[in-house]
Structure formats: C-alpha cells, structure tokens
Amino acid sequence: MNQTAWQRYQQLPLPTRRDVDWQHFDLRGLKLDNIEKRAQPVTVKLSGKVPTGVIFGELAKHRDAAKSHLGKSITIEERHKFTALHDALWDNGAILYVPRDVRVTEPLEVTYDLPNHGSASFPRTLVVLEPGAEATLVQKFTGSPAVHASGTEVFVQRGARLHYVSMQNFAPTTYDFTLKRAHVAQDAEVDWVIGMFGGALARYDIECVMEGRGGTSFMYGVGLGENKQQLGQFTRQHHQTGDTTSDLLFKNVLRDQAVSNYTGTIKVEKDSNGTNAYQSNRNLVLSDKVQCDTRPILEIESNQLRCTHGATVGRLDDNQLFYLRSRGLSLTQARQALIEAFLEPILARIQIESVREEFSRLIHAKVIR
C-alpha cells in the first residue's frame, strides 16, 4: 500500500450533493468499509501480435521498464478521493511500451476481468510511446466488482501516434471511478474513443495535456444510461503549449431514470498562442425522468487562438421521425435509425472493425430496444 496516498484518501471527504460535480449523484449504494481488505489481485488477458522490442504485459512483471514513467502523471497531488484510493491500493495492471520508431501495425488488446461481487479492484495501466512510435491499444473492463478505481497514464512522445479505444461494461452494481490522462509531446497525436456502458455509477476523468508544439488530441466518447445508472464525464483539454490542437466530442443517450453530468474544461495557459480547441457535448434524452446536466467550461489566458464549444440536450426530432415513418418504417425502426445516426460519428472514429461492432452491439442491447 502507498501510505501517503492512503493518508490522502482518508483525509479527503466523501463527496456530497453540495459538491457541484456530484449534485445529482447518489452515492448511498457505495460501500467503502474495509476497502483495503477487499482489494482483489488484478489479472489481465492480453492478445495481439507483439513485435520484438515492444513490451506488452502485466505491469507487475515489468517494473523496470515502467520505472521511468510510472507515477509521473498520477501523483499525490490528485484532488479526487477515488483517485487517491486507486493510487493507494493498486498493485498490478498492464503496460504497453513501444520503443523509438517502432510501428505496431496490429491492434493490441488488454482485458481486465474483475469478477467478484463485493470485492474491489484497482488496476493501473501505463502506456509509453517513444519518439516516432505508433500503436493501437484496446482496453476492456468487465466483471462485477463492487468498487473499481482505475488509472491510466499515457505518454505519447515526440512524433508518436496512439490510437486508443477504451470501454467498460461492468455489472449494474459496480461503482467505477476512472482516471485517464495523456501527455502529448511535440508533433505527437493521440486519438481516443471511450465507451461507457455499464455500472451503477461510472465517473470518468479524461484528460489530455498538450505539452509540445504541433501536438494533437482527438477525444471521442459515448455514454449510455438506462434504469438508474449514473454517468459522470469530466474532461479536460489542457493546453500548456501553443500551436496545439484538441478536438472533443462526447455523446450520451439516456433513458429511464438515468442521470448524467458532463463537465468539460478547455484550459489555455498564458503564452499558448496558436491553440485550436474544440469541445462538444450532445445528449439525447429518451425519457421524462432523466436528469441531464452539462457544463462546458473555457478558461483562456492567451489571445492568438480559437476556442469553441457547444452543448445540447434534446430528444428525437419529431419531423425526422415523421419522415422516416412516412417512408414505411415502424416507430421502433425509425427511433432505432435516429439513435444509430446520432452515435455514428463516435463509432466512425474506431478503426478496428471488431471493436466497432462490439460498441454497436452494446448500443443495441442497451438503448435501442
């Protein structure tokens, strides 16, 4: 156990509805007693063809390779209680380390299977792409732990490119707290797609830190909420350097009594001229019991730049439904077609066909019924 992080976890208060970030969330089902004793060892399943020189394996077995970057992004400074919990208790996870100029052509896939009811799991993932490297990584989280707090640290060094798809489909009892942060160096590119499908509550903090000129980040996400599911998406596009680009689109489909809170920040530091940042959050609401909050935030301290954002909350368009039905589609078919069309821009970002199909299957099972 990391004692400093554990102390910080114990010091930080449990969020209440008074906290702006949590005001519509219900944490009564979250049981944290004896959490340190309930932690289960993390096992990962890996697949994909690994070229020589590339490290792709369990984090615990590659401590030396991880040493230079591990804990450089997720530090004791984190301000969330659940990130501190993760930092205190994690013991294993996965590592992908791609050396200089190596291009991994086939996608690499890691599955974290976390099966036990009542247990807790704290996987850590480290991704390092050395200058000029390229890779595609797929991360899948499934199972039914009571509490899941995970962290992923991503370093995309000069001129490297990472395509990264991450999805979770936990049982409806799981409380999932996830932090993912990518550091994007000069001329590097990260291209993310995130799928949030399961859990009683899933709170994702997804951040990109633009550290070098010419860096680009694409962040795309889909969240589906049914029954009393609670979704939290907290994104941050942090432009520390100028001449950087970030693009973000998060789309949610909410039905039944689902609750969602999107809070996204574009932060442009001083002397970051030439920043181009875009942020968009679109919510499709299918029931009158849904609570949907969105807070797109801009904090800008440079002036030679362009930052734009947009957010919408709406239902299926009556005119579009009417048109489709006039062409012979049933109401159900018409609704299906419109929901699929709404999510299509996210699915189109996934470059691996089998993963795209899996997203599509989950969307059908959850919201297109």
Q: Which residues bind other proteins (CB under 8 A)?
A: 20, 24, 270-271, 273, 283, 285-315
Contact call for residues 281 and 254 (beta carbons, < 8 A): no
- Of 101 and 299, which CB lies nearer to other proteins in the complex structure? 299
- Of 42 and 307, which CB lies nearer to other proteins in the complex structure? 307
Work out how close the CB of 367 gets to other proteins at its nearest, in angstroms, rounded to a whole number: 13
- Of 127 and 268, which CB lies nearer to other proteins in the complex structure? 268
- Per-residue burial over 68-100, b if 16 or more Cβ lie within 10 Å, else e, is ebbbebbeeebebbbbbbbbbbbbbbbbbbbbe
DSSP assignment string, 276-335:
EEEEEEEEEE-STT-EEEEEEEEEE--SSEEEEEEEEEE---HHHHHHHHHTT--HHHHH
Work out how close the CB of 300 gets to other proteins at its nearest, in angstroms, rounded to a whole number: 5
Work out how close the CB of 135 gets to other proteins at its nearest, in angstroms, rounded to a whole number: 34
- Of 171 and 298, which CB lies nearer to other proteins in the complex structure? 298
- Of 223 and 296, which CB lies nearer to other proteins in the complex structure? 296
Contact call for residues 337 and 324 (beta carbons, < 8 A): yes
Contact call for residues 208 and 184 (beta carbons, < 8 A): yes
Q: Which amino acid is at 117?
A: H
- Of 190 and 292, which CB lies nearer to other proteins in the complex structure? 292
- Of 295 and 325, which CB lies nearer to other proteins in the complex structure? 295
- Of 71 and 345, which CB lies nearer to other proteins in the complex structure? 345
Work out how close the CB of 321 gets to other proteins at its nearest, in angstroms, rounded to a whole number: 13
Q: Which amino acid is at 314?
A: G
Burial of 209 (0-12, 13-18, 19+ CB in 10 A): buried
Do the strands 189-196 and 201-210 form a parallel or antiparallel pair, or are they unpaired?
A: unpaired
Work out how close the CB of 8 gets to other proteins at its nearest, in angstroms, rounded to a whole number: 20
Work out how close the CB of 215 gets to other proteins at its nearest, in angstroms, rounded to a whole number: 20
Contact call for residues 334 and 321 (beta carbons, < 8 A): yes
Question: What are the helix (H) ranges across the chain?
Answer: 3-11, 35-38, 63-66, 81-89, 318-326, 331-347, 353-366
Work out how close the CB of 226 gets to other proteins at its nearest, in angstroms, rounded to a whole number: 14
Rounded-to-integer distance, Cα 216 and Cα 208, Å: 10
Phi-psi region for residue 35, left (φ > 0), alpha (ψ -120 to 50) or beta? Answer: alpha
Rounded-to-integer distance, Cα 260 and Cα 234, Å: 11
Work out how close the CB of 269 gets to other proteins at its nearest, in angstroms, rounded to a whole number: 11
